[in-house]
Amino acid sequence: MQSNPDSTPDTIVLVHGLWMTPRSWRGWKERFEARGYTVLTPGYPGFEIEVEGLRENPTLIANLTVPQTVGHLAGIISALPAPPIIIGHSFGGTLTQLLLARGLGAAGVVIDSAPTEGVRVTPLSQVRSLFPALKNPANRHRAVGFTPEEFHYAFANTLSRDESDAVWQEFAIPAPGNWVWAYGLIANFTPGKQETWVDYAKDRAPLLFIGGEEDHIMPPSVNKSNARHYDKSPALTGYHEFRGRSHWICAEPGWEEVADYALDWAMEHAEPTWVSAD
């Protein structure tokens, strides 16, 4: 990859989260393309088929790992002619942090991000939201989905139940249970560096955390703690919170404000210089 340090990024990579596919970025992709950007919405390995297919046969993704996914996304980004803006939602925020830690991207924005290793803030709403995956250790080897009721609490609590059920029907899929265990119970209580470890003191591209005030599964306290872990880094780290927003922040009413804020911040602070990965 080569870049002109004086150039402005013209490509945006949108990284979806768990229980979702690239379909969840539909509005953002259309909005950013209308502003003249090239927008990529890569799926995780095995997520190439549609929501309906993954819901019917979730075993296709049950054993997917975080390192496999980071490597897959890193390959796509490294092949671009210049560093892009990387924006990730939920566990896509974790992946975005891991990608920036590799020296990828001109700037990153993580929205309602799942935390990287070492962030031990665990609000009760988060425990309740993740309980369907954590209640049975055997789920580490399965793809685990939310019921419509569970989805409403974890993802779309600012919507009516009917509105949430419609979102669940169109977008929700099972997710690899090992990811939930890996970032929480295992990463923070197992000696040594785990799958979501990053060097918080390392230099990297500018990074913005966006939190949703009403998010149950990744509440603002989690995102604030994650951001504070980067205090020793010379790189810019920001935090912004949207009031009244749930984990469905990227598509609930008013999502356009979130999309514009994320992109405007990233473009203002982007450093379009390639940094070689370790």
- Where residue 210 sits, what CATH number does that domain have? 3.40.50.1820
Q: Is residue 2 part of a domain?
A: no
Q: Is residue 207 part of a domain?
A: yes
Taking alpha carbons only, the member of 186, 184, 237 closest to residue 210 is 237
Q: Is residue 51 part of a domain?
A: yes
Higher per-residue pLDDT: 46 or 240: 240
pLDDT digits (tens, 9 = 90+) for 165-224: 999 999 999 988 888 876 655 556 665 677 889 999 999 999 999 999 999 999 999 999
Check if the beta carbon of residue 106 is closer than 8 Å to that of residue 143: no
Q: Is residue 5 part of a domain?
A: no
Q: Is residue 123 part of a domain?
A: yes
Q: Is residue 130 part of a domain?
A: yes
Q: Is residue 274 part of a domain?
A: no
d(CA 228, CA 231): 5
* pTM score: 0.92
Strand partners, 87: 14, 109
Q: Is residue 45 part of a domain?
A: yes
pLDDT digits (tens, 9 = 90+) for 38-68: 999 999 988 877 888 888 888 878 888 899 9
Question: Count of domains in the chain?
Answer: 1
Residue 157 belongs to what domain range?
Answer: 11-269
